[in-house]
Amino acid sequence: MPGGRAAYMPRMTASGPVPGLPFVKMHGAGNDFVIIDSRQGPARMRPALVRAIGDRHRGVGFDQLAELRAGEGGADLLLDFWNSDGSRAGACGNATRCVADRVMRERSADALTIRTARGVLRAERRGGQVWVNMGPPLLNWSDVPLAGPADTLSLPIAGAPAAVGMGNPHCVFFTPDAEAVALTERGPKIEHHPLFPQATNVEFVSLLAPDRLRMRVWERGAGVTLACGSGACAVAVAAVRRLITGRQVDIVADGGLLQVDWRDDGVWLTGPVATVFEGVLGADFLDGAA
């Protein structure tokens, strides 16, 4: 990627161009994102810049960053995901919903196909809500992936969690009281457990009702987040496999309510979406992050 100010398209205002990089801040149930639109040019993100934007004191702050790129291979657009520590994220359900909401409004459309590292995902607007099909869950140990053969329904880890791949790995613990879990202590230890060669997202879950679960999340590369879309999908899949719930389930996260429907064609996710603000990253900030 070219460095310096010339690498960024200026934002046009009534008084002329404003040098810098436009962005949008969005969230889905408190799971917050910076959205960068690179559909008119090359991909711009790199680890150092992602970390700078993700700094909640000196940058904007986010759980994940999503960069839009022009569609190819039959998809309407491409999405790349980054964690706040500068690492890549293979999937991000809530960010996908946020982007889908924005692009569908832009196009006056009710459906969209989005290519991600997970594959081509379909998003639909139904009854005012944006649903995204996160694809079939990955349940074989090598697909999650795990470091070696193991029963993904009951891992050889204290607490016997389940493992689910949703384009990124998840480790799901069922516990009588998710509120009582010391998330900041247990989360990072499980994230880097040797059974997960690519590290893992970690969810602690308790049953509230036959179709309602409480979820708390430690995300790989981001830490504690208020919600996690792919995590909600993984939790629902693990709950069905454990015969705890049916395939349609409400997931109560710290930041709000997510709904999951595990169908024959994949795991569908919906929940709240909000645009917080739009802005421009200044040229001096971009130069400092180069």
Give the catalytic positions in this structure. 92, 228
What's the rounded Cα separation, in Å, for the pair 131 and 122? 8
Report how far residue 212's alpha carbon sits from residue 260's, in angstroms, rounded to the nearest whole number: 10
CB 18 within 8 A of CB 280: yes
Alpha-carbon gap, residue 231 to 172, rounded angstroms: 9
74 with 110: CB under 8 angstroms?
Answer: no
Per the CB < 8 A criterion, the answer to whether 231 and 242 are in contact is no
Whose CA is closest to 48, among 96, 11, 1?
A: 1
**How many residues are listed for the chain in this entry?**
290
Residue 251 exposure: Cα atoms within 13 Å on the Cβ side: 35
CA distance 62 to 134: 21
Phi, psi angles (nearest 5°) of residue 24 = -125, 135
